[in-house]
Amino acid sequence: MITCVTDTPDVQQVLLGRRGVIEGARPGLICIDMSTISPSATKEIGKTLAAKGIKLIDAPVSGGQIGAIEGKLSIMMGGDKKDVERVRPIMEVMGRAVTYCGPLGSGQVTKLVNQVMVIHTIMSIAEGFAFAEKAGLDLETTLKVTSAGAAGSHSLKALGPKIIAGDFAPAFMVDLQQKDLRLVLEYADQLKQPLPGVALAKELLAVLQAQGRGRDGTQALVDVIRQLGQKRS
């Protein structure tokens, strides 16, 4: 059984709710949850399912819509290692990098680490382009040079051309990024690990949501940085 839904309450409803998986599953069933949700909740869901003889693997993904379509996702798996190896052939149909990260919940924590790094990359791209634009640089040339140097990244190559074209169609929506950053900050608070950069990025993305742009792609963050520059002109 594979699930991939939006947030923690959705997974709880599908797996544990009325007429959920837990009510009809036979002992020995392996549930693979590919949603990005709370690591703590994942562990609790796993305990509840285990009492009924049902096994849970957390397997959140990175790679976006294109990665899913092309079967090139990075899949981060947590749970009993024997169970993970049993389902690996199924996961390898969807992902080119299928990695065992540790006990149940480890996949979710790894995904949150990924989201911390991704949002900082997007933040740097947004600030870089806003800076280049205000300085009067040719953005196509700027993209070519930075992509070939130390600033180069998958995100820059994917999102840079979209920013130049004014294309804010989502590869990953602001609303979903905000959900992930909420999960990051909640878990970081449990760990007592400050993440000031994530907190700032979340506040800036909240500006887009306040403007009704929550369904835009995360590259729309560049517009918030541009707006800050306009206020100083």
pLDDT digits (tens, 9 = 90+) for 133-182: 999 999 999 999 999 999 999 999 999 999 999 999 999 999 999 999 99
Q: Return the CATH number at 201.
A: 1.10.1040.10
pLDDT for 67 equals 84
Span 40-61, pLDDT tens digits: 999 999 999 999 999 999 999 9
Same domain? For 114 and 32 the reply is no
CB-count burial class (<10 Å; 0-12, 13-18, 19+) for 140: exposed
Per-residue pLDDT averaged across 54-70, rounded? 91
Domain boundary among 84, 104, 124: 104
Query: Which of the four pLDDT bands, split at 50, 70 and 90, describes residue 233?
Result: low
Domain endpoint, select from 59, 83, 104? 104
Residues 217 and 117 in one domain: yes
Checking if the pLDDT of 231 tops 70, the result is no
Are residues 58 and 6 part of one domain? Answer: yes
Domain region containing 153: 109-231
The whole-number pLDDT of residue 99 equals: 97
Element (H, E) at 221: helix 221-231
Q: Does residue 18 share a domain with residue 33?
A: yes
Is there a single domain that holds both residue 132 and residue 223?
Answer: yes
Same domain, 122 and 222: yes
* Whole-number pLDDT of residue 232: 66
Helix (H), strand (E), coil (C) string for 78-122: ECCHHHHHHHHHHHHHHEEEEEEEECCCHHHHHHHHHHHHHHHHH
| 8 Å CB contact between 49 and 33 | no
153-to-182, 184, 202 alpha-carbon distances in Å: 25, 22, 21
Q: Please give the tally of structural domains in the chain.
A: 2
CATH number for the domain spanning 44: value is: 3.40.50.720
- Kindly state whether residues 143 and 220 are assigned to the same domain: yes
Q: Which residues have a catalytic role annotated? A: 111
Same domain, yes or no: 141 and 203: yes
Mean pLDDT of 123-141: 98
